[in-house]
Amino acid sequence: MELKDLKKAWIRVSDESSGKQQLNEEQIKAMLGTRTKSLLEKIERNIRTGFVVILVIIAAMLAVDYLTVAPSGMTSDGNKVPRWLFFLDLGLNLLIISLFVTFLFHYWKIRQQCKGVCDLRHTLTKTIGILTLYQRIFTFLLAIILLISATGFAAGYYTSIHNHNTSEGFFLSDLLIGILLLILISGLLFYLIRWVFRRVYGNYLRGLRDTFAELNEVEEGDD
Amino acid sequence: MDIVGANQGIIHKVCNIYCDDEEDRNDLFQEILAQLWKSYPSFRKESKFTTWMYRVALNTAITSFKKIRRQPGFNRLCDQNLQIADEMSSLEMDENIALLKQAVSKLSGIEKSIILLFLENKNYEEIAEITGITQNYVRVKMNRIKKKLKLLMTAED
């Protein structure tokens, strides 16, 4: 059977089939009412929620620092808090905020590439772009959180040694164990979260990239 | 709502070609419907409504997350694919149509969209407008798909 004959048969079959599946207005409304969010809508929601949560945490931490520790400049055990610790804290918080601002800027730029209903190429570019950006911010944020833990550990250890004048032997063994634990926990956490992300979005992103490559291969073909 | 309802056959056809089981079809139908609903204010009437609808439906089907999560990769043939046990079977499709559907199921996401539009009697100009690739390359791609389908159908035969 030639393709043109198949075409006729296809139209008959698919028309009959879709005719059977017709929904009335009420059913369509009900479907719209119960729909779940699309992937990009979920990503947008996650970003908004994440941004608000991080801002609240940063604000709370700053409030605690400046309202309780900063006025006296002393820790709970009566030792002086080094000034560089405040700057370190502030720097890391600014790093998180600037990461989000950068992300929002790039996100907005990707969204601006094509408004409304785009063709397939632009839809793919937009979806791949947003997902890649989401993956990057996720990794950066994770790296910053691990950096915060590391600096927190280092700062705490330094001030403890500085204020209590401990012996060198105690200092070295504790420091080594602390560093090893930190590396282990950070590494595990980093790979675990990255693995989860890849498991959830990895195949999807790969599929989109393959489709995009296929689209380009068509455009670059020379048959 | 009326205009979408009147043309819902387009959504069903897209769902039927991209999804293998009832649940996936319903999910995709719902997703396409939602996209149409959301995007309708941006429809500028520069193209025919059905062209716009095909564009939204195919974009949604190709970039659908749920479907890909269940079927990693776009080219994978689902085991239950186009089993003649669903609504289609009651139509007593002739053997060639069943073979065609079986072969179509092995095509990639883009190939499926092009062959669907071709089978729906769309000309190259319309296919290019919907998919966003040039007419020349729709032609190139179409030739490749025809060859591929012939091969697949012969192999299935």
pLDDT digits (tens, 9 = 90+) for B12-53: 888 888 887 778 888 888 888 888 888 888 777 777 888 888
A196 min Cα distance to partner chain B (Å): 14
Query: Is A123 in contact with B140 (Cβ distance < 8 A)?
Result: no
- List, in sequence order, every beta strand (DSSP E) within A68-173: none
Position B105 pLDDT exceeds 50: yes
Is residue A80 included in any domain, yes or no? yes
**For residue A86, what are the contacts with CB-CB under 8 A and spacing of at least 6?**
A65, A70
Q: Is the separation of the CB atoms in A148 and A92 below 8 Å?
A: yes
Domain of residue A154: give its range. Answer: 36-220
Asked casually if ipTM beats, i.e. exceeds, 0.90, the reply is no
Where is average pLDDT lowest: A36-45, A103-112, B28-37? A36-45
Number of domains in chain A: 1
Helix (H, G, I), strand (E, B), or coil: what is residue A74?
strand
Distance between CA atoms of A183 and A179, rounded to whole angstroms?
6
Number of domains in chain B: 1
> What confidence tens digit (pLDDT) does each residue in A118-139 have?
778 888 888 888 888 888 887 7
Report the length, in residues, of chain B: 157
Interface test mutation site (partner B, options A16, A119, A127, max chain B beta carbons within 10 A): A119
B142 min Cα distance to partner chain A (Å): 10
Interface test mutation site (partner B, options A2, A3, A130, max chain B beta carbons within 10 A): A3
A128 min Cα distance to partner chain B (Å): 10
Position A176 pLDDT exceeds 70: yes
Which residue, among B30, B29, B5, B1, has the nearest Cα to B15 in the 3D structure? B29
Please report the pLDDT score of residue B76 as a whole number.
34
Q: Is the separation of the CB atoms in B116 and B14 below 8 Å?
A: yes
Is residue A12 included in any domain, yes or no? no
Distance between CA atoms of A136 and A102, rounded to whole angstroms?
11
Domain of residue B127: give its range. Answer: 2-156
Please report the pLDDT score of residue B79 as a whole number.
36
Distance between CA atoms of A189 and A174, rounded to whole angstroms?
22
What pLDDT band is residue B136 in, cutting at 50, 70 and 90?
confident
Between B80 and A85, name the one with better pLDDT: A85
Query: Is A223 in contact with B143 (Cβ distance < 8 A)?
Result: yes
- For B75, nearest residue in chain A (alpha carbons): A207
Average of per-residue pLDDT across A190-209: 83
Position A14 pLDDT exceeds 80: no
List of chain A residues whose C-beta atoms are within 8 Å of the C-beta of residue B42: 115-117
List of chain B residues whose C-beta atoms are within 8 Å of the C-beta of residue A31: 29-30, 33
**For residue A173, what are the contacts with CB-CB under 8 A and spacing of at least 6?**
none
Residue A120 φ/ψ, nearest 5 degrees: -60, -45
What pLDDT band is residue B86 in, cutting at 50, 70 and 90?
very low
Please report the pLDDT score of residue B80 as a whole number.
37
